[in-house]
């Protein structure tokens, strides 16, 4: 089952007539030199063509709504439909970002309360919702650390410590903030190598970027000591919220000693992943960083019936690192996170961490019992854990990628593969709290069956997937002969 391109469906002159003004008024005051003088390269199709085409395309996807999706570090959990429906009420959708705050109190109230909820659940002093994705949240956090040091005259602090297991965004962000990245090794238990840390902190240390639990699926046991070491050297601690789902409502980054954090609301607060976005990287800060927060952040004046919400600007936060988006970040995403937070409530949040951890440890135990090798067999799993298929690779000549592709044939999205880079032939598996035990059991059965296939006929795995809309792609050739846009003239695909 494949679907031709929308451009291959069209005919010159075909239109979705209901979707544009009925007349085209003449606009005769645009100088010729500035006026369009080439085709507008859009498809020419009917409304039904469009509905049919994109409905069919959607069916080619795996998604949470259709498949178990244990993609490690991505927290693919249930996206409650109410969050979408209610965030899409016309009163919210129609609001212009520059409309008077007096006419947006309903939405601003939600956003303010979301700031308060996130503040409490992370143990920070204040939250700001503007960062538009996790990576922008990271950027904001590191930029604030820089601003903090600069404000104190510590202009020489330009080194950011990053564990070698960290997400690639961490070092990339540090670079974008003008910092040098100092990599920290991991010890045999998966924790940061404390001795190496002590060695690498200095008066040039701006801070450390950590996610805890780490990408290795274990909780950093020495976190309080790490905080002491870094703070002792004058650096600050930045918490990457990628794995916040593991500890939500159970352990708080603020209590661990972090000075600034970001949260991936599309993970922990279940806003949609949307095929790759929009995300949201809400920020939490300690009191000493409050004055550097980005704008706009929402403030409140008055109480009870007199309550008024307002946008904090440079006037309120003269030391702000400033504005990072044209308007108010991904507001619609924030609304979804707010609704989700209210549905969960206080107890519900704690249960997120508890049941995400229960599912993860259960699945790890079952896979271990089934003979798979886990990376840190003596550690508790956090919300995710690592299986290494290096033995299967040496015995049967099949790779983690082969296993992953075969899982697709079994109706499961593959876990994250080959990340973290430290573990060979690695599967990073995150079941999330919203999956049932039966689903986890079925996943174990599939893993066992695939290993049996690997033993009996490894080619089955190497050829996989065979039951999907596409077979494996030649990605190397695609990157060489770049074809990034359809060319109606030259394509032979029609």
Partner 1 sequence: MPFIPHTEADVRDMLAVIGAETIDDLFDEIDPRLRNVSLDAIPEGASEQEITRLMRERAGRDEGGLCFIGAGAYEHHIPAAVWEITTRGEFYSAYTPYQPEASQGTLQVVYEYQTMMCGLTGMDVSNASLYDGASALAEAVLMAVRANRKSKSRRVLLPKSVHPFYRQVARNICANQAIDFEVVDFDAEHGTVDRAALDRWAGEDVTALVIPQPNFFGALEDVDALTDWAHDNGALAIGVVNPMSLALLKAPGRWGGGDGADIVVGEGQPLGAPLAGGGPYFGLLCCRKKHVRQMPGRVVGRALDADGCDGYVLTLQPREQHIRRSKATSNICTNQGLLVTAATIHMSLLGPEGLRRTAATCAANTRALVERLTAIDGVSRVFDGPYFHETVLRLPMAADAALEALAERGVFGGLALADHYDGLNDTVLVCATETKTAGDLDAYAEALAAVLETHAAPA
Task: From 61-69, 188-196, 249-257, 414-422, give the range in contact with a copy of itself by CB under 8 A.
Answer: 61-69
Contact yes or no for 163/237 (Cβ under 8 A): no
Q: Using the rule CB under 8 A, which residue among 15, 51, 457, 459 binds a copy of itself?
A: 51
Q: CA-CA distance, 460 to 235, in Å (whole number)? A: 52
Q: Are strands 180-184 and 159-163 parallel, antiparallel or unpaired?
A: parallel
Cα distance between residue 216 and residue 280, in whole Å: 23
Pick one of partner 1, a copy of itself, none as the site partner of residue 330 (Cβ within 5 to 8 A by kind).
Answer: partner 1
Query: What is the Cα gyration radius of the chain?
Result: 25
Q: 21 touches which of partner 1, a copy of itself, none (CB within 5 to 8 A by kind)?
A: partner 1
Q: Strands 322-323 and 385-388: what pairing?
A: unpaired
Least spacing, CB of residue 62 vs partner 1, in Å: 4
Name the minimum Å distance from CB 380 to partner 1: 5
Yes or no: say if 200 and 180 are a contact pair by the CB < 8 Å rule: no
Q: Which does 304 bind (CB under 5 to 8 A by kind): a copy of itself, partner 1, none?
A: none
Could you say which residues in the range 418-477 bind a copy of itself, by CB under 8 A?
Answer: 434-436, 438
- Of 15, 41, 56, 228, the one binding a copy of itself by CB under 8 A: 56
Q: Kindly state the number of chain residues that form the binding site for a copy of itself, as judged by CB under 8 A.
A: 27
Minimum CB–partner distance for residue 439 and partner 1 (Å) = 9
Least separation in angstroms between CB 413 and partner 1: 6
Measured from the CB atom, the residue of 59 and 202 that comes closer to a copy of itself is 59
Q: Which of residues 75-94 bind a copy of itself (CB under 8 A)?
A: 77-78, 80-82
* Interaction of residue 180 with a copy of itself, rule CB under 8 A: no
In whole angstroms, the minimum distance from the beta carbon of 274 to a copy of itself comes to 16
465 preceded by a cis bond (ω within 30 of 0): yes
Q: Which is nearer to a copy of itself, 378 or 438 (CB)?
A: 438
Within 11-40, which residues bind a copy of itself (CB under 8 A)? 11, 14, 18
218 binds, among partner 1, a copy of itself, none (CB under 5 to 8 A by kind): partner 1
* Of 181, 269, 187, 174, residue with least CA distance to 220: 187
Q: CA 254, 257, 261, 264: dihedral to nearest 10 degrees?
A: -70
Task: Please choose, from the candidates 429, 432, 409, the residue with its C-alpha nearest in 3D space to the C-alpha of residue 419.
Answer: 429
**CB nearer partner 1, residue 13 or residue 394:** 13
The yes or no reply on residue 66 touching a copy of itself (CB under 8 A) is yes
What Cα–Cα distance (Å) separates residue 88 from each residue in 104, 335, 338, 388, 476?
15, 9, 13, 43, 41
Q: Is 95 exposed, middle or buried (0-12, 13-18, 19+ CB in 10 A)?
A: middle
Near a copy of itself by CB under 8 A: residue from 5, 6, 43, 52 = 52
Nearer Cβ to a copy of itself, position 45 or 201?
45
Residue by residue, DSSP assigns 105-174 as HHHHHHHHHHHHHHHHHHT-SEEE----SHHHHHHHHHHHHHHHHHHTT-TT--EEEEETTS-THHHHHH
Q: How far is the CB of 311 from partner 1 (least distance, A)?
A: 10
Instruction: Please report how close the Cβ of residue 186 comes to a copy of itself at its closest, in angstroms.
Output: 34
The reply on whether position 368 binds a copy of itself by CB under 8 A is no
For residue 418, give every residue at least 6 positions away whose Cβ sits within 8 Å of its Cβ, in sequence order, or none. Answer: 400, 401, 425, 426
């Amino acid at each position: 089952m494949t679907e031709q391109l929308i451009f291959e469906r069209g005919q010159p002159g075909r239109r979705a007539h209901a979707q544009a003004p009925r007349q085209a008024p003449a606009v005769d005051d645009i100088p010729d030199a500035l006026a369009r003088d080439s085709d507008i390269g859009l498809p020419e199709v009917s409304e039904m063509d469009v509905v049919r085409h994109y409905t069919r395309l959607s069916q080619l996807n795996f998604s949470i709504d259709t498949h178990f999706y244990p993609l490690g570090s991505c927290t693919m959990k249930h996206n409650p439909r109410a969050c979408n429906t209610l965030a899409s009420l016309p009163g919210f959708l129609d609001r212009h970002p520059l409309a008077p705050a007096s006419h947006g109190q309903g939405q601003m109230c939600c956003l303010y309360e979301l700031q308060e909820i996130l503040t409490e659940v992370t143990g920070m002093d204040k939250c700001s919702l503007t960062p538009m994705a996790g990576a922008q949240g990271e950027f904001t956090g590191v930029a604030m650390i820089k601003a903090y040091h600069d404000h104190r005259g510590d202009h020489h602090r330009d080194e950011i410590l990053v564990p070698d297991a960290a997400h690639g965004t961490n070092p990339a962000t540090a670079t974008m903030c003008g910092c040098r990245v100092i990599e920290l090794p991991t010890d045999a238990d998966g924790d940061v190598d404390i001795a190496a840390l002590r060695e690498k902190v200095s008066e040039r240390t701006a801070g450390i970027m950590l996610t805890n639990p780490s990408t290795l699926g274990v909780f950093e046991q020495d976190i309080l000591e790490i905080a002491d070491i870094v703070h002792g050297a004058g650096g600050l601690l930045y918490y990457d919220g990628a794995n916040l789902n593991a500890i939500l409502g159970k352990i708080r980054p603020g209590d661990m000693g972090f000075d600034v954090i970001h949260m991936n609301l599309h993970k922990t607060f279940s806003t949609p992943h949307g095929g790759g976005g929009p995300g949201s990287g809400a920020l939490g800060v300690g009191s000493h960083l409050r004055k550097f927060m980005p704008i706009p952040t929402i403030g409140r004046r008055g109480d009870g019936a007199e309550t008024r919400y307002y946008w904090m600007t440079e006037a309120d936060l003269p030391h702000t690192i400033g504005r990072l988006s044209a308007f108010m970040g991904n507001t619609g995403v924030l609304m979804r996170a707010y609704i989700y937070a209210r549905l969960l409530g206080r107890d519900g949040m704690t249960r997120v961490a508890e049941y995400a951890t229960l599912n993860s440890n259960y699945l790890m135990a079952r896979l271990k019992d089934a003979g798979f090798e886990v990376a840190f067999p003596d550690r508790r799993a956090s919300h995710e854990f690592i299986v290494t298929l290096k033995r299967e690779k040496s015995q049967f000549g099949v790779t983690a990628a082969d296993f992953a592709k075969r899982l697709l044939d079994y109706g499961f999205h593959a876990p994250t593969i080959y990340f973290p880079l430290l573990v060979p032939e690695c599967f990073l598996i995150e079941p999330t709290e919203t999956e049932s035990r039966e689903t986890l059991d079925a996943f174990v059965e599939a893993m066992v069956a695939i290993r049996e296939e690997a033993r009996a006929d490894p080619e089955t795995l190497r050829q996989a997937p065979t039951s999907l809309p596409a077979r494996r792609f030649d990605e190397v050739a695609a990157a060489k002969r770049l074809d990034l846009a359809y060319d109606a003239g030259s394509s032979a695909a029609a």
